[in-house]
Structure 1
Amino acid sequence: MLAMMNRDGVTVWIVLLSSVFAASIAIVFLIGFFSDKANVNGFGPFNSSYEAEFDIPTVELVTTAARTRDGESRAVLSSEFSSKFKPTVRRRQNSKLEQGLAVARAAIRKAASNRNVSLIIKNSDVISTAIYRNAGAFYQSYMEMERRFKVYVYKEGELPIVHDGPCKDIYSSEGRFIHEMEHGNNRFRTSNAKAAHVYFMPFSVTWMVKYLYKPNTYNVSPLKEFVSDYVRLISRKHPFWNKTQGADHFMLTCHDWGPLASSGNAFLYNTSIRVLCNANSSEGFDPRKDVSLPEIHLYGGKVNPKLLSPPPSNISRLYLAFFAGGLHGSIRPILLKHWKGRDQDLHIYEYLPKDQDYYDSMLKSKFCLCPSGYEVASPRIVEAIYAECIPVILSDHYVLPFSDVLNWDAFSIHIDILEIPRLKEILIAVSEDKYLRLKEGLRAVRRHFVLNRPAKRFDMFRMILHSVWLRRLNLRVG
């Protein structure tokens, strides 16, 4: 079972590991981590297409064969642990961290059981329950995060590829997070690595593409090699990666090639927390451990002024729906084929006419179409939220940002690609009452998609951290 063992030690270690595994199962059973009662709470880091659960899987030592079974949520291969990894040793500091997380889990479960509220008002916080899967669970989890969560940022690596990132273009959420994590006045970063719950690797895939990639070659090997070298560096210099083979480490990138770059290290790809804009579940994105990062286009580093103050609700919108964008990917050609220039209520263009303004068109439309391009993510979704124009999600396999806690049905509409020919029929069928509820949802959820500088409570930076916090809650480290 363990390649590192000699023949005389096999029996002893198998018995020891079996005992640890059996004891873990017994504890899990007794405290009800997987009980039916826990699973009806409607809260947890899962793909929005699933019924949400607040699930606490454990890190298990499994064989290579077992790793391929369906349902293995977060396992590491026992045969690939370094000799420094000792699963039966519990350090005092880590025991203290795990005890704190256990208290947090219990508090979240208790809060999740109360669903009979429409508004949560505590400590000057106002939480509209309609936009969350379980508002009580989210609020308690967020409070526990603010109270406990600590992130260690590795100092290794040199500018510009590490400790920097884009802050003024379509990949702004990448650079802004790195900058806020490293230089912002936030309570989450700790200089004591032993006191950290997670470890952040602050490299920028966008800057890798800029400085390492040779244009028009489509050779991503230099990106993968950089990631491989970086993981090798921190794993040799620090003990933390080797303890869980990176399960409590995270990277963050908004570049389309982020998933490819992360494959430079197998454990980073399969075990670590990857915060990605390109959150495509058909291409390796695992919502049980990975985090969907909102894509936001900040021209010059700022939100377009027209989106800062959308029209009041009593101002009627002239257009039923709006879209303008190039023929990227497989979905947009279908949309343009059926609706480009075919209906005066649907303002759908491949190229926006020169006499029209993009953001004015959004602000004049009831629904804003958000089809995927070459990759699943689109900045149109965040722009639609700002414009209070109901996002119409036209995408396959896209795990929507913060969908482990947000109920996207409360402020957006998802239309299957096969239903694009019926687009107008579906949108007209949305009643006025539902439309107004969706707009109320957009107003309530907006603060979760704003990149403030400095960061503020419940904004995008804190919500990204909260998504990482949830994954850490789902990891039990000995």
Structure 2
Amino acid sequence: MYGSHTEMMQTFKIWTYKEGDIPLMHNGPMKSIYSAEGHFIEEMERNGNPLAAKHPDEAHAFFIPISVAKIVHYLFTPAEAYGFLERMQTIFEDYIDIISQRYPYWNRSNGADHFFVSCHDWGPIVSRNNPKLFENLIRVLCNANTSEGFIPMRDVSMTEINGPYNSIPNVSGGQSPHNRSILAFFAGGNHGVVRNKLFQHWGSNEDNDIQVYTYLQENQNYTELLSGSKYCLCPSGYEVASARITEAIYVGCIPVIIKNQYVLPYSDVLDWSQFSVQVPVTKIPDLKRILEDIPFSKYLEMQKRVLEVQKHFTVHIPAENFDVFHMILHSVWLRRINIRLLKF
């Protein structure tokens, strides 16, 4: 990957369309679970970004700077829920109509060298009701669910990151792997089929090895519990996307991924089997046995690799080589180099 990253940095140029106004365009959330969306938009439009094309004729790919999270925040009201998703898609369709009339780039590739980024659960929906218009558009999504139309050969799975309200997320080694006394840990709401099954089997907290909570007590610290666990459980909630994978990686805890139809981020270049455990939903009752059967020597190897891949999930302002911003663009680049444009 490192060689191809160097090649990308030397050759790849992206044009960000200037059309549209904030807050729905050129702006995204910098905090909360949608923060990856906002950080990406800000980095693409940052002065001095070495990957930004100075003129669209120089570009190999074109970024549509629309924020689904901002559309939902500013335009969605529960009283008008019916028809909102169609209105949200109309915003995208109107934007594409404008850029396709003003420039030749969308039409020459039928959108195949264009992409947008969304960490909101509704990100995949904007292209659902007009599949012909969006059939080639590269969708960079946190909610990378193949059962909801995510296409791994075309679309990009992006990390969900829970940006804190006082700074960018901290990354550390956490506790020494020899000092982690909890076998597996999870804390979060009991919603969705997968979590319901997790709580059904492990939510009683009678087993100190596998600790599963809905809400922590006042004397319990979430980050400390993650740091003191060998494995961190990452089940799906209402959707497959979850910030818990990155939260685990940030403190050196091996993610245990319990999801159906989920395409893991950056799996074009990262071998997740080397630093995570993937457990089928049907095997939730066997969690303890599965994790205890992993030899401690293998655990140490995986934990070491978690620390090695931390840089690929880290947020920097401005972006740094091999960080999460470049991982997203590297995935876009891999899909772009396989596109043959209709004409120049």
Residue of structure 2 equivalent to 1:180: 43
Residue of structure 1 equivalent to 2:328: 464
| Deviation of the 1:269 alpha carbon | 3.2
| Deviation of the 1:215 alpha carbon | 2.3
Letter aligned with residue 65 of structure 2: P
Matched, 1:440 2:281: no
Matched, 1:270 2:128: no
Letter aligned with residue 289 of structure 1: R
Output one character per residue of 1:233-261: Cα deviation in whole Å (capped at 9) or x when no partner: 11111111011110010011100000112
Q: Conserved in 2, the CA contact under 8 Å of 1:151 and 1:188? A: yes
Equivalent residues in 2 for 1:23-42, closer than 5 Å: none
Gaps of 5+ in 1: 1-137
Structure 1 Cα separation of the partners of residues 260 and 341 of structure 2? 34
Q: For residues 181 and 248 of structure 1, do their structure 2 counterparts lie closer, same or farther at Cα, with a shift above 3 Å needed?
A: same
Q: Conserved in 1, the CA contact under 8 Å of 2:266 and 2:331? A: yes
Structure 1 Cα separation of the partners of residues 173 and 272 of structure 2? 22
| Deviation of the 1:211 alpha carbon | 1.4
Letter aligned with residue 288 of structure 1: M
| Deviation of the 1:146 alpha carbon | 0.9
Structure 2 Cα separation of the partners of residues 187 and 409 of structure 1? 33
Residue of structure 1 equivalent to 2:30: 167
Q: Conserved in 2, the CA contact under 8 Å of 1:153 and 1:201? A: yes
Residue of structure 1 equivalent to 2:92: 227
**SS state of the match for residue 184, structure 2?**
strand
TM-score, structure 1 normalization: 0.69
Residue of structure 2 equivalent to 1:142: 5
2:270 to 394, 406, 427: 406
Q: Conserved in 1, the CA contact under 8 Å of 2:162 and 2:169? A: no
Letter aligned with residue 388 of structure 1: G
Letter aligned with residue 414 of structure 1: Q
| Deviation of the 1:311 alpha carbon | 2.4
Residue of structure 2 equivalent to 1:199: 62
Residue of structure 2 equivalent to 1:109: none
Output one character per residue of 1:170-214: Cα deviation in whole Å (capped at 9) or x when no partner: 100000000000015221101211111001000100001011222
**SS state of the match for residue 320, structure 1?**
strand
Gaps of 5+ in 2: none
Q: Conserved in 2, the CA contact under 8 Å of 1:184 and 1:454? A: no
Output one character per residue of 1:386-428: Cα deviation in whole Å (capped at 9) or x when no partner: 1111100000011010011100001000001111101100000
Structure 2 Cα separation of the partners of residues 369 and 302 of structure 1? 25
| Deviation of the 1:272 alpha carbon | 0.9
| Deviation of the 1:455 alpha carbon | 0.5
Matched, 1:319 2:164: no
Q: For residues 395 and 262 of structure 1, do their structure 2 counterparts lie closer, same or farther at Cα, with a shift above 3 Å needed?
A: same
Structure 1 Cα separation of the partners of residues 149 and 227 of structure 2? 36
Q: Conserved in 2, the CA contact under 8 Å of 1:213 and 1:220? A: no
Structure 1 Cα separation of the partners of residues 74 and 180 of structure 2? 45
Aligned-CA RMSD value: 1.4
Letter aligned with residue 436 of structure 1: L
Matched, 1:383 2:247: yes
Give runs of ≥4 in structure 1 deviating > 4 Å. none
Structure 2 Cα separation of the partners of residues 436 and 269 of structure 1? 44
Residue of structure 2 equivalent to 1:154: 17
1:394 to 258, 265, 276: 258
Residue of structure 2 equivalent to 1:132: none
| Deviation of the 1:349 alpha carbon | 1.0
Q: Conserved in 2, the CA contact under 8 Å of 1:372 and 1:378? A: yes
| Deviation of the 1:319 alpha carbon | 0.6
Letter aligned with residue 207 of structure 1: K
Q: Conserved in 1, the CA contact under 8 Å of 2:169 and 2:315? A: no
Structure 2 Cα separation of the partners of residues 237 and 350 of structure 1? 51
TM-score, structure 2 normalization: 0.95
Q: Conserved in 2, the CA contact under 8 Å of 1:292 and 1:399? A: yes
Structure 1 Cα separation of the partners of residues 302 and 245 of structure 2? 14
Letter aligned with residue 151 of structure 1: I
Residue of structure 2 equivalent to 1:108: none
Letter aligned with residue 471 of structure 1: R
| Deviation of the 1:149 alpha carbon | 0.1
1:360 to 224, 236, 259: 224
Q: Conserved in 1, the CA contact under 8 Å of 2:173 and 2:252? A: no
Residue of structure 2 equivalent to 1:330: 193
Residue of structure 2 equivalent to 1:285: 150
**SS state of the match for residue 250, structure 1?**
strand
